Amino acid sequence: VIIAGIDDDLSNHHVLNVIFSCIGGGGEVAVAACDCFLEIVDREEADSSNKVMLFVRVNLFSVLGNVDLDDNIDLAIKVAEILAASGVELLQCLEALPMEKQMMEYILHVTKLQNGSKQTD
């Protein structure tokens, strides 16, 4: 078992790079690599914030966004499972934020959206 607590260990970083290079390659190896990453994400002993930092560190959404899913339904399903699991972790991090901070971030977000729409009008 590698990556017990999802720390910054160099060997863990190397393993993650190998896993993600396999995901990008497609085929059965990509499906197996997705399973490996899902096992890492599904570990209950790891903190959600550490998992989110992991997503950032490995450019999870960029990598998954570039995977060709057209001809491999099994890979498409695994990528969807990773996206769902990562979404759960993101929501758990959001729920852990103090409510005041969430409200402030929401207000800033809405303000940015409103300012953006005024500039395009």
Question: Tokens 């990509």 — which residue?
Answer: 30
Quick one: pLDDT at residue 4?
46
The burial class, CB within 10 Å (0-12 / 13-18 / 19+), for 34 is: buried
SS3 78: helix
pLDDT in tens, 9-61: 545 777 888 888 888 887 899 999 999 989 888 887 678 888 888 888 888 88
pLDDT in tens, 61-101: 888 888 888 889 999 999 999 999 999 988 888 887 777 67
* CA nearest neighbour of 32 among 15, 18, 19: 19
Per-residue exposure over 89-115, b if at least 16 CB sit within 10 Å of its own CB, e if not = beeebeeeeeeeeeeeeeeeeeeeeee
Query: Residue 29: CB partners within 8 Å, gap ≥ 6?
Result: 22
- Whole-model pTM over 0.75: no
Q: Rounded distance, CA 40 to CA 1, Å?
A: 10
Residues 100, 103, 108, 111: is their CA dihedral positive or negative? negative
Q: Rounded distance, CA 30 to CA 23, Å?
A: 4
